[in-house]
Chain A
């Protein structure tokens, strides 16, 4: 483009923008969305910034209410068979894609088949593995997609059969992996169906524009079944990863909601914009993995205990991060559904720090380390200021027990590559729950599966392995009674944590800032607030 042409284009468009801004009276939500969406395809998405955009333009069988609880979405009702394995959904009347085609049970069947088809390469397909034959299709064991446990009885009736009763299945259906896709369009255009000029939706908003690096813009869908109650006419999902800049733009009135802010500004926010910052427990755990492969130093449980018990978790949230994250001693975050009342609390957490250090020193001596023979450990983390601050603090906490720490940081891709390859001693990791159930974190500690002679450890980077733990997890997965299932999972958690399978450090919090102009925002542990429930006063 020639400079003069570019200049003319900019100038003309500027004049037009000025004219338009005086004419518009629509209510526009300016949402700070963080990262640039990697995709608008629900089967390929993987981040919460994608979820915010996609969850506004497509709706699944179930959807979230203002508190992010599962409520009827495209399905108006459903029945569950007595053994808990067959779900029959009845779709609403008159629902349609934005190109006028009806949304049918066939669209859902097609979407689930596409999700599990290995050719789609959907990152998060495993979230819907409770569905019958889903895992086998996804791994290529079954190649006939029609064997999937999702059937259209007629255009309005959908039947989903599960492998085993799954108490969190309705909740899992609110996830974007369970969204329908327009079969007619995907078959015609392939992956190009999500290009802005082609895209259609069935949700409360429709995508109108995507300017990578700047924003995605959606407008209210007039044909949405609940359109009469949708207050906001237009949404900008702004891309801005620099949190300080985002806060500046919020203060300048350019953003209505921030989905993150710099932790060191929390005090300032509380003092100057009281009530606008929302720091809420978020289902997730920040932890260190320890390499427990045979022959590795940390396969010795005594050293693992010494390391875990000498971390003073209470100072990390309030003092190092500044946002008051709660210390974590167990593996299942507080607020997780389908679980026991009392959280796992080890005895050692109650003993004074000096005693813990003494005991840890004794354990280290027993394991053959001492002042003359200090243990040197490499601590890996992905490059980030907060990870670094925490690593430095923890290295200092381990010094009194004779552990020398070498800090090593690398960018995210390299870091996780090393963890997966088992090329580390201690490494930082974090897990945010995909669905609200304890199995979602406990699964991280299951023994890997043998695949053609090589062990696939999945996200169990530390290679923790305990038969009893695995047996309890298997037993829980078939237990129908929710209370009994919760007990089994709690026993599993206790076994793993008593053996220091990993070092939980703190429970994540979500950090939002919401302008007083916005109403309808409800704090919740999933940190999902769909635009549909929000309204804005000028």
Chain B
């Protein structure tokens, strides 16, 4: 299994290089540049700015400069946010995004699994209907609307929670953002769990276990839960990366210092450095998560073997 993990890590290197290359060139194909704003810059100023960021050189030369720096771990400067380089911005923003995503992940996964299992055991009874309703809300209501509604309800009308902002270390300020982030995630997991649990409960080995006279509790805990978790586990990798990248609306509405916004804002501003930097970061996260999920899968399902 170690050798397998090692091979997977090695194979990530060419994938990473290809992704960086494609991303670099596609970004440059888009019309407009980082210094095209509402007002025209004087030609000398523009020329100086372009020279400062090496944009005056041939594209292929820029590419090699970028990759050369990247290999030394330098993501370069931001072209739009002066005074921060890309690594700075990621260093400040990413721990925040990660903390928020991990809270949401843990909460959503636990709630999702328990709720899904409870609904499956009580299929077509009231707990099942309550779950269906909560799932519908989570999936159907877009997160920016959910954020605005929760903000209005808990921040303005009830005044129980801060309506937004970030005070270093205050967990209260995370409650609403994490709820918004976790809800759709929990909804998807509970649906997966419910479906697979119903299937498992109808399977032959569960019937065998029951016919042996085992109590329902033991049947569920020992024989049903583990196989029912398989589809959930395969969703966790993409799910976590979704939580890490999907925080844009939440960050913007609650005014939080994460890095989700750079994805969209930097792309719109043609801030090449930040777009590439965040893309590379997420590429590594997704590669790592996929690897971890594959390893967990093997532990859960003995049928999966590594070659």
Contacts and interface: CB of A to CB of B under 8 A. Distances in A.
Contact of A212 (B42, B81, B98): B81
A187 interface: no
Interface string B18-43: 00000000000011111011111111
A11 B163 CA distance: 20
Given A212-B84, A213-B251, A17 B162 contact: no
A371 interface: no
Contacts of B89: 212
A370 B209 CA distance: 84
A214 B151 contact: no
Interface residues of B, number: 63
B253 A245 contact: yes
Contacts of A140: 44
Nearest to B52: A121
Contacts of B258: 213
Nearest to B47: A118
A63 to B, nearest CB: 24
B165 interface: yes
B183 interface: no
B191 interface: no
Given A39-B82, A212-B84, A252 B163 contact: yes
Contact of B252 (A6, A125, A245): A245
Contacts of A1: 95, 98
B155 A212 contact: no
A416 B38 contact: yes
A: interface residue count bin? 35 or more
A214 B165 contact: yes
Contacts of B49: 121
A122 B170 contact: no
B169 A242 contact: no
A123 B165 contact: no
A248 B148 contact: yes
B55 to A, nearest CB: 12
Nearest to A10: B169
Contacts of B256: 213-214
Given A245-B255, A248-B156, A38 B82 contact: yes
A463 B253 CA distance: 40
Contacts of A456: 43
Contacts, number: 185
A177 to B, nearest CB: 13
A272 to B, nearest CB: 12
A170 B96 CA distance: 45
A342 interface: no
Contacts of B159: 252
Contacts of A420: 36, 40
A36 interface: yes
Interface string B38-71: 1111111111110010000000000000000000
A239 B37 contact: no
Given A6-B102, A7-B99, A248-B156, A212 B167 contact: no
A430 to B, nearest CB: 7
Given A38-B82, A122-B45, A241 B163 contact: no
A14 B98 CA distance: 17
Interface string A161-193: 000000000000000000000000000000110
Contacts of A122: 45
A121 B251 contact: no
A119 B44 CA distance: 9
A447 interface: no
B151 A248 contact: yes
B171 to A, nearest CB: 5
Contacts of B41: 123
A3 interface: yes
Contacts of B46: 121
B83 A413 contact: no
A9 B31 CA distance: 43
A196 B145 CA distance: 35
B251 to A, nearest CB: 6
Interface string B167-179: 1111100100000
A429 B162 CA distance: 38
Nearest to B260: A213
A348 B258 CA distance: 53
Contacts of A192: 83
A214 B46 CA distance: 30
Contacts of B34: 413
A412 interface: yes
Contacts of A417: 31-33, 36
B182 to A, nearest CB: 15
A214 B43 CA distance: 34
A244 B148 contact: yes
Given A14-B169, A244-B148, A254-B164, A211 B156 contact: no
Given A13-B168, A16-B169, A40-B83, A249 B44 contact: no
Contacts of A429: 38
B9 interface: no
Interface string A123-157: 10110000000000011100000000000000000
A240 interface: yes
Given A245-B255, A456-B43, A213 B261 contact: yes
A11 B52 CA distance: 42
B60 to A, nearest CB: 22
Nearest to B168: A13
A138 B167 contact: no
A234 to B, nearest CB: 13
A520 interface: no
Contacts of B32: 411, 413-417
Contacts of B171: 10-11, 14
Given A17-B169, A121-B48, A6 B95 contact: yes
A142 B81 CA distance: 30
A452 B230 CA distance: 69
Nearest to A139: B44
A194 interface: yes
A215 interface: yes
B148 A118 contact: no
A182 B85 CA distance: 23
Contacts of B268: 411-413
17 contacts: A6-B99, A17-B168, A40-B83, A44-B82, A118-B47, A125-B42, A139-B43, A194-B83, A211-B166, A212-B257, A242-B252, A244-B148, A251-B163, A254-B162, A254-B164, A412-B268, A416-B32
6 A-B pairs with least C-beta separation: A13-B169, A413-B32, A39-B82, A252-B163, A214-B257, A414-B32
